[in-house]
């Protein structure tokens, strides 16, 4: 080979050999971590519901064995707490404003409802959890700050934060049950609104209204009179009404010891 016929420096410059087998694509597994486990678990719950969640199933989703998960997550109970904390961190209360504290609480509750409804069965997880994760305690700290800025006593703020959390979770759980599928959003972007599920829910309301109206009025005068009202209103309207009641009750404690 002469000086003017130098060999290519990069093998990529050469055409592939016609008799060579193509290189196999090797899938590199991402390192297992607590964050990756929570990601996989949340995706699984969103898709198939809480009943499908198990350490073994999450391991399958990650392409590993269940035993490898226990180096990062102690058990399913801890995994549920991590899921709750992950979703809790999606919405944080605003900085306390004494002039707007009631509306701040309501805004936070509405945002929390939207975030939880975006994740299937999250209300079932939330009702059994104590907010001790890093995100959940930031939420609790923010709520307590708003309540105390509104002039609530330490007792009213502490108990009130608990009542608010339970109210939001309970409303979401009931709303999800009423749809027959908790994987739905507030704005009707899920399976429970505007489709077959929503139609079933409307039919069920009509049946209940008709049943109440058919009761003997001499024995059930109030149920008969309010048959239509008992079944009226969408989830947003009912949630906001209850929120008004809760916040007004807390406001009545402002300035008390």
- Res 139: pLDDT: 95
Q: What is the DSSP string of 51-101?
A: GG--HHHHHHHHTS-HHHHTTT--SHHHHHHHHHHHHHTT--PPPP-TTSH
CATH of span 90-251: 1.10.357.10
Domain boundaries of the chain, sorted by first residue: 28-73, 90-251
pLDDT at 156 over 90: yes
Q: What is the DSSP letter of 71?
A: T
How does pLDDT run across 210-238, given as a tens digit for each residue? 999 999 999 999 999 999 999 999 999 99
Percent of the chain past pLDDT 90, that is, above it, reads: 68
The C-alpha atoms of residue 244 and residue 103 are separated, in whole angstroms, by: 10
Residue 173 contacts residue 122 (beta carbons within 8 Å): no
The pTM assigned to this predicted structure is: 0.76
- Res 181: pLDDT: 46
Least confident of 51-65, 75-89, 119-133, 159-173: 119-133
- Res 53: pLDDT: 96
Average pLDDT, the chain: 85
Q: Quick one: CATH architecture of 28-73?
A: Orthogonal Bundle (1.10)
């Amino acid at each position: 080979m002469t000086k003017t016929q130098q060999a290519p420096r990069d093998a990529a410059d050469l055409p592939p050999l016609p008799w060579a087998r193509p290189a196999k694509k090797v899938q590199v597994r991402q390192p297992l971590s607590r964050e990756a486990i929570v990601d996989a678990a949340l995706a699984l719950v969103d898709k198939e519901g809480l009943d499908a969640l198990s350490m073994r199933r999450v391991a399958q989703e990650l392409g590993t064995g269940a035993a490898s998960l226990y180096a990062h997550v102690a058990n399913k109970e801890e995994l549920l707490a991590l899921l709750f904390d992950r979703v809790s961190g999606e919405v944080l209360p605003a900085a306390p404003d004494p002039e707007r504290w009631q509306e701040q609480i309501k805004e936070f509750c509405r945002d929390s409802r939207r975030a939880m409804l975006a994740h299937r069965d999250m209300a079932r997880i939330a009702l059994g959890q104590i907010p001790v994760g890093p995100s959940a305690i930031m939420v609790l700290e923010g709520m307590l700050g708003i309540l105390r800025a509104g002039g609530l006593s330490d007792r009213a703020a502490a108990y009130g934060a608990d009542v608010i959390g339970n109210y939001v979770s309970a409303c979401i759980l009931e709303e999800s049950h009423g749809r027959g599928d908790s994987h739905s959003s507030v704005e009707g972007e899920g399976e429970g609104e505007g489709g077959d599920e929503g139609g079933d829910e409307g039919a069920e309301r009509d049946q209940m209204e008709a049943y109440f109206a058919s009761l003997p009025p001499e024995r059930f005068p109030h149920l008969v009179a309010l048959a239509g009202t008992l079944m009226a209103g969408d989830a947003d309207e009912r949630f906001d009404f209850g929120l008004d009641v809760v916040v007004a009750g807390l406001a009545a404690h402002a300035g008390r010891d």
